[in-house]
Amino acid sequence: MSEEGSAEPPAADNHSVAGASGVLEALRGIVEKRQSDGGNLAVLVIDCGVISRIDAVWGYQIGDAVRNRVAASLRIDVLRPDDLVGALGRDDFACVLSTVEGPAVALLAAKKLLRALDMPFWIGEEEIYASPAIGIAMYPEHGDQAETLLQRAKSACTRARELPGRVADHADDCDNSAAAKLLYENRLRTAVSEDALELVFQPQYDLRRGQVMGAEGLLRWRDPTLGMIDAEQAFAAADAADKVADLVSSILNRALRNVSEFRYSAGLDLRIGVKLPARALRHTELLDVVQRALGTWSRRPGTLILGIGETSILGEEAITRETLGRLKELGVKLSIDDPGMTISSLFGLSSMPFQEIRIDVSAARDLAGAPKSEHILQSMIAMAHLLRLDVVAVGVADEAAAARLKELGCDYMQADFKGPALEPQQFVERFGFNEG
């Protein structure tokens, strides 16, 4: 790598690069022309993906020179004299194809732009490549206002980053999806800060003793505008907003507070389970969040069971495995809670500090009439026990199935036939002191 300051700025094009306001003003004029003649135009937003990094390494003077070089390359290699190119930001460019016959022409131009930007930029002796993505919006199909076309092309460009071809055109659901994501994030921030998240509780039964021994706290986020939002959506919004630790803290504190109230007001000394996606383990502050919540509600770590989903990433990410180990050292019980887990996954999971596994038995409803299903369950339970894992059966159909699972050696059960998940007060009324 060349020393800072030794890099020579790339030769700049003699034409200046129009800024965002200039692009918008020029686009308005082109839209007016197409409105009068009934023609089509295309707006392409290009995320170059390299200039801000050049700014950080070599400085803004070099970055500006590269921006001019990019604009010149686009103008000379792809665009026609009546087309427009301008800069929307450090890495973002807008190309306006002033007249096009249809989307196929815009897509062809986008592919030419990608090829043009795949050529290296030389900075001193360093060969620098862009990593572009392009979004397309068409007039009048995707909008009839300059601002709308730019916004929709930018939204498509963001989506293009996730696609192998790095080109996307505006789709009807693109803006709605982005808007919904942003709305979820903002609503989640408010719900967490106002402690507005709710949990309902589903009892867990000890099959050997035939009594309630725990509960799973299930997130129910009722937003007055968005309606019921499930845990998966909530964690996705938290991930995008960098609020996973806050969401976990809110869930754990509410779960531990309620289970503590069950104990003191209703005589129920229960363990409490909470499910987390494995990606939550990436956050190094998670251990502190768990410790603080346990300390706040004076709960023994062993009475908290963290069910971990998305277990496939555990084998890929050292940080998640390290967090699991530290949670185990803390005394928290760890449960494999992943319906999509394959049998082969157990090879990797067997070396991790799990103490429990949840098995969905809903596919084997009639155990008595399906001996092969019974043999499969018996083998799974025996294998889990060999791995020193307690087994929690979920999706149990009825009392007959529960009785057979007990005979097969299953440890615990969580079943809808015993009743739906209940709000805290309903749970106390149903199970407090004398189970009904």
pLDDT in tens, 4-23: 333 443 333 434 456 777 88
CB atoms within 10 A of CB 284: 12
Phi-psi region of 333 (alpha: psi -120 to 50; beta: other; left: phi over 0): beta
CB atoms within 10 A of CB 431: 22
d(CA 139, CA 292): 55
Residue pair 204/189 in contact (Cβ under 8 Å)? The answer is no
Helices 146-160 & 172-193, crossing angle to 10 degrees?
80
What string of H, E and C letters represents the secondary structure of the chain? CCCCCCCCCCCCCCCCCECHHHHHHHHHHHHHHHHHHCCEEEEEEEECCCHHHHHHHHCHHHHHHHHHHHHHHHHHHCCCCCCEEEECCCCEEEEEEEEECCHHHHHHHHHHHHHHHCCCEEECCEEECCCCEEEEEEECCCCCCHHHHHHHHHHHHHHHCCCCCCEEECCHHHHHHHHHHHHHHHHHHHHHHCCCCEEEEEEEEECCCCEEEEEEEEEEEEECCCEEECHHHHHHHHHHCCCHHHHHHHHHHHHHHHHHHHHHHHCCCCEEEEEEEHHHHHCCCHHHHHHHHHHHCCCCHHHEEEEEECHHHHHCCHHHHHHHHHHHHHCCEEEECCCCCCCCHHHHHCCCCCCEEEEECCCCCCCCCCHHHHHHHHHHHHHHHHCCCEEEEECCCCHHHHHHHHHCCCCEEECHHHCCCECHHHHHHHHCCCCC
The pLDDT of residue 14 = 38
Q: In this predicted model, what pLDDT tens digit does every residue of 209-268 receive, in sequence order? A: 989 999 999 998 887 766 777 788 888 888 878 889 999 999 999 999 999 999 888 888
| Beta-carbon contacts of residue 155 (< 8 Å; ≥ 6 apart) | 135, 170, 174, 175, 178
The pLDDT of residue 115 = 84
d(CA 170, CA 116): 22
Residues of the chain with pLDDT under 70: 1-18, 171-181, 225-226, 365-370, 433-436
Residue pair 272/214 in contact (Cβ under 8 Å)? The answer is yes
| Beta-carbon contacts of residue 27 (< 8 Å; ≥ 6 apart) | 43, 84, 94, 96, 146, 149, 150
Residue pair 311/283 in contact (Cβ under 8 Å)? The answer is no
The pLDDT of residue 180 = 65
**Beta pairing class for 412-414 and 390-394:** parallel
The pLDDT of residue 5 = 37
Place of tokens 């992943």: 338
d(CA 59, CA 53): 9
Place of tokens 């009324």: 429
pTM over 0.85: no
CA 181, 182, 183, 185: dihedral to nearest 10 degrees?
Answer: 90
Helices 286-296 & 244-266, crossing angle to 10 degrees?
20
d(CA 217, CA 212): 14
